[in-house]
Chain A
Amino acid sequence: MRLTVPVLLLIVLVAAGSAPAAQTSNATLNASINSAARLSLSSAALTFPDADPDTSPSIQAAQGPITVTAKARTSPNGTVTLTVRATDELRSGLNTIPASNITWVASGAGFTNGTLSATTAQPIATWSGSGERTGAHTFFFRNLWSYATGTYTLTMVYTLSAA
């Protein structure tokens, strides 16, 4: 019986020594994600070369397809819209050609074909939710014999918005 005490003590100490010790501390991560948008175009200028209206009733822009990259953050399932509007008609001195004679054919998810307007912003693309999207649109000019000769220009304004 004299062995009982040392044996029991040994058991207790071994058990205590095998239990891992740990100390913990908490921290909280906070991240604010605010609205942001960024739009880029592969070309900031479009040129339609002169051509015979009979042989080229529709003139494609010399730059070819314009690549559009639209990045936007919005609320879950929020709508992201890209529009374009002409600031004026095509103008060469006193002569004008309606901006609606410029059309585009689009490619890429969410992108749509359309016709330029100097009065109303026209939709180019619509998406749902945050993200980065890329598409392209190729512009065409309706070529007519009725146009007065000249070098015509207009400015187009692209607007990327998220709701």
Chain B
Amino acid sequence: MRRLTPLLAFLFLLPSPALAQKLELAVSLSPAIITFSSGDPDTVPLLTAPPLQLTYRIRGNGNSPWSLTVLAAGDLIAGASRIDISNVTWVATPAPPFQNGTLSKTVPQRIASGTGNVNPDSIGSISFRLANSWTYDLGSYTQTILFTLSAP
């Protein structure tokens, strides 16, 4: 038992992933800045940003499910003015695994999902759209959105 004690201590000190199946997740965006240009709401009811390229990779996931979600940190804000983030929607391809949706600041919204591994890298294209309205105040609005690739 005295010989085993250092071994047991070593095992407990190891980072858990080192002992678990080697799961590797990677997600990246290009560009990381999504810009909507202004337009007349009557002629341009939807402001469309240039497509965002999302690159992702999943290794060591076996046959387990994975999902990619997006969550806004809040509404679009310009000083005291705000545009509800639910006015931002997206169209994503290819489908599957990608799906269209509407941004939320409270609940992560699924943008893609699947099972198993994605190896080598795979790419999705996401076009964000902002519903244009005469009610918006003038301003330069901004907000951060967080993409999360997860597997159990």
Q: Are A27 and B33 in contact (CB under 8 A)?
A: yes
Stretch of A33-41, A44-52, A89-97, A118-126 contacting B (4+ beta carbons < 8 Å): A33-41
Q: Are A32 and B38 in contact (CB under 8 A)?
A: yes
**Contact of B84 with A by CB under 8 A:** no
Interface string of A14-34 (1 = CB under 8 A from B): 011101111111111111111
Residue of A nearest to B83 (CB): A31
Q: Using a Cβ cutoff of 8 Å, how many contacts connect chains A and B?
A: 160
Give Cα A140–Cα B134 distance, bound, in whole angstroms: 32
Residues of B near A78 (CB, < 8 A) are: 138
Stretch of B9-17, B93-101, B117-125 contacting A (4+ beta carbons < 8 Å): B9-17
Q: Are A33 and B78 in contact (CB under 8 A)?
A: yes
Q: For the complex, count residues of A whose C-beta is within 8 A of B.
A: 40
CB distance from A73 to the nearest CB of B (A): 6
**Contact of B1 with A by CB under 8 A:** yes
Decide: A32 near B37, CB < 8 A? Known: A16-B16, A130-B134.
Answer: yes
Decide: A15 near B16, CB < 8 A? Known: A21-B23, A38-B42.
Answer: yes
**Contact of B115 with A by CB under 8 A:** no
**Contact of A131 with B by CB under 8 A:** yes
Q: Are A8 and B11 in contact (CB under 8 A)?
A: yes
Give Cα A76–Cα B1 distance, bound, in whole angstroms: 75
Residues of A near B137 (CB, < 8 A) are: 33, 73-76, 129-130
Q: Are B11 and A9 in contact (CB under 8 A)?
A: yes
**Contact of A157 with B by CB under 8 A:** no
- Among the listed B23, B41, B140, B147, which residue makes an inter-chain contact with A30, where contact means beta carbons less than 8 Å apart? B140
Q: Are A29 and B148 in contact (CB under 8 A)?
A: no
**Contact of A116 with B by CB under 8 A:** no
Q: Are B141 and A30 in contact (CB under 8 A)?
A: yes
Decide: A12 near B16, CB < 8 A? Known: A27-B52, A28-B143.
Answer: yes
> Which residues of chain A from 58 to 77 have any CB-CB distance to chain B below 8 Å in the complex?
71-76
Residues of B within 8 A of A (CB): 1, 4, 7-8, 11-12, 14, 16-17, 19-21, 23, 25-29, 32-38, 40-42, 47, 49, 52, 72, 76, 78-81, 83, 88, 128, 130, 134-152
26 pairs, CB–CB < 8 Å, chain A vs chain B: A12-B11, A12-B12, A16-B16, A20-B150, A21-B23, A23-B149, A25-B29, A25-B149, A27-B33, A28-B32, A28-B34, A29-B143, A29-B145, A31-B47, A32-B35, A32-B37, A32-B38, A32-B140, A33-B78, A33-B83, A33-B141, A73-B137, A78-B138, A130-B134, A130-B137, A132-B134
